[in-house]
Chain A
Amino acid sequence: MSTPSVNLRTVKIVKNILASNDQAAEQNRQRFLEAGILAVNVIASPGAGKTSLIIKTLQTLRDQARIGVIEGDIAGSIDTEKVLTAGACDAVQINTGGGCHLEANMVQQALNDLDLDQLDIVFIENVGNLVCPTHWALGEQIKLCLASTAEGHDKPIKYPEIFALSDVIVLNKIDLIELVDFERAAFYASVRALNRHAPIFEVSCRNSAGLAAWANWLLSQQRSASMLQEAEDRPLNNFDKIRD
């Protein structure tokens, strides 16, 4: 009895598994940039205060920036209603139906329901989870990791990757620091081992401590992003033509 012959070949690929998500994220990024919008991907564990931070930020920047929100939750639209009531200019709900993170194609759909020309900043509130959302680019310019003192100072040790990849870190519930034995030095040392450059803002969404500094930083990021886009949109002047 003859066995069927196998003509074995090895195909070298070396490709990021999430490459097609990255492509969709790049398209989202272009849409944000063209509209002069700063997009912020908000990643935190459940209960760290993602919605509270978004609400406090949009209230702090009420007269300075038009803020929209894309809410990602497993189910329900409680947070979308909350942010609209609190003064968000626009909000869209994504329900992942059990999915533990948002993906770029979900955000792509949501962008069709937002009036991008009327917004300056868009918060994308990811599903509450410190692991799964980390590697899924959504098209954001800023990946925000939100931690809170009540969760403990060892969060960066337990979930290193999100702290390593974030552009900014916000530490919420700073008003509880004494009550929950949060060791600030240990937190900062482990964050800095993972990420030397991301600014860290300490805030309390409850008593508003530190929110102005955080909101001003965010606004400055939005202004630089939008200035870059304006410069790109401007036709070349004579000097540029000669130089090129």
Chain B
Amino acid sequence: MHPYENLPPEAFWRSAIATKNPLNITGLWQPKFTFKPEDNVVTVGSCFAQHIGKAMVRRGYNWLDAEPAPAKTDPELKKKFNYGIFSFRTGNIYTTELLLQWCQWAFGEVKVPNEVWTNPEGRFIDPMRPNIEPNGFANLDEMEMSREATLEAIRRGVKKAKVFVFTLGLTEAWRNIEHGYFYPMCPGTLHGDFSSEKHEFINLRYPQIKQPLMQAIRLLRSVNPDLKFILTVSPVPLTATASGKHVLTATTHSKSLLRAVAGDIADEQADVDYFPSYEIITGFPFRGMFFEPNMRSVSDKGVEFVMASFFEALEKGRNKRPKPASAKKSNLKETSFEKSDEVVCEEELLDAFS
């Protein structure tokens, strides 16, 4: 007898992959824990995280919109002003450093920087959420109140949540040299002005990815000890790299590190799980079929397949079907999504410079 004799079919390439139609590949995820449709779920992270929240709503799960727009706001208007995209109006949180930063600001560990930008029309831009309002804010007070609103939403949302889903997106980041805080986008690309004296590029390495994420998890757990985490890695390649390497090799390096961190933390922490959306979209057994012709955007079919795998595994783990959408709790804010709803992706805006 040896250990390989009693392994299930999913442990072997031949039975799990080689002899299967890709669309019949199953069992990629055995959840460490399950949750019920009525449990509050928070989603934050990179562009791909938006699909998770939308899919949860469609499936009748209690996706937490902690900073909702008025109930009858048109979906297009909500999207324009970044309501209902993530659980909080942070914009994309691409790196673990940014996640930690938001958590530290929200829970008072670190003071929010007082940097502010203006656009050519004199409107005020939040450097930490440069795309959150299409035309910026009317004045500084309004900008600061809006950011404080998001921090309040984080405080409340984390306390109410049962599950916190974070999608890791990038390792490449831009940092303020003097004060050390991170920007979501390189200053000067969307708004603001770039200065090599004020801003530096950093391509986060494994410890620099893992440590902030662990710190964020500990901080969030200190607020909500029952909170569980699901980590995913965005399968979406980099729009652009400042690393000096080819964007394909930079992407592979980045995603490999993120995948390693996510996997290691999930292995080390009982209340942290990893869901393999990355493998489903990018894994070569799927032959790239879930990408659009630009080989970057994930197709609707891809999102559908990923989320079907997610819910199938979850519900199998719970051993029962979810209740229909009408059973949603009242704290689920009305959010309607079109099937082919495009995601809000600030990083994609870098394409304008290609």
Binding between chains A and B: no
Chain A interface residues toward B at CB < 8 A? none
Residues of B within 8 A of A (CB): none
